[in-house]
Amino acid sequence: MDDAMDDSNKMDVEQDLVTNATSSHERRRCKVSYFYKPDVAVSPSLSTNLHRDSRLTSPPLVSSLSPSTTAQDTL
């Protein structure tokens, strides 16, 4: 009878292990949401690569930073 109880407990433990393994596996998989809109209306001109890497602009001057250029006023 003791052996039977031991077996029963063992089964429970094994079942717990399986359950826990499953849940920890599920935790590892991130829930990912992907946003895509295929029917974006764009003109052919948008397909032209116009990004220029040659233009140099001045870094932002600290003295010029204000709510007019930063997002500070919305924070």
Based on CB atoms, which residue is closest to another protein, 4 or 34? 34
Residue 73, C-beta contacts closer than 8 angstroms, at least 6 positions apart = 67
Q: Are 66 and 57 in contact (CB under 8 A)?
A: no
Q: Should residue 70 be labelled a site residue for another protein when binding is judged by CB under 8 A?
A: yes
Residues in 27-46 at the binding interface with another protein, rule: CB under 8 A:
28-43, 45-46
Residue 44 CB, shortest distance to another protein, in Å, is 9
Q: Which residues bind another protein (CB under 8 A)?
A: 28-43, 45-60, 62, 65, 68-72, 74-75
